[in-house]
Amino acid sequence: MAILKFRVYFEEDDSIYRDVAVRHTQTFVQLHQIILKAYEFDSKHQATFYRSNDNWQRGREISLEKYDKPYKVPPLLMAETNIGSEIFDPNQKFIYVYDFVKNWSFLVELINVSKEEGGKLEYPAVIKSEGIPPLSTAPRVSSATNSPRLKKNTT
């Protein structure tokens, strides 16, 4: 079984990151939950992933649920979407947004694919932590949507 290792950067400071590992058959709900655990966030808020490219443009949405907002294309749902089904590139990227009010944004990049080795870990798992995570209860000073690194796909 393939193990996918992702590096999850805090969008506003890429010296803060968490490496997480998931099975390719696990869903985006499980990736969402391990990111929350890795950054010590609660699970009380809305969340979504966007398939992305090397320029960190937002593509197809993979959402926790269908929210009351306009969509160009209906989103995929996290619970119904296996992570492996959305890997199209050896360095596949996703943008993860948590809490649409505070707009916590994370850049999620595939950094390794390997075979599972003899049950050493229970997946999903946090493999590495660098930097102090932002406090999810702290008020936001800036909006990640205005960040030069994140670009909305306008096509």
Q: What is the DSSP string of 57-125?
A: EE-SEEESS--SS--SSPPEEGGG-BGGGG--STT-EEEEEE-TTTTEEEEEEEEEEEE--TT-SPSSE
pLDDT in tens, 94-115: 999 999 999 999 999 999 999 9
pLDDT in tens, 11-69: 989 899 999 999 999 999 999 999 999 999 988 899 999 999 999 999 999 999 998 88
Tell me the pTM.
0.85
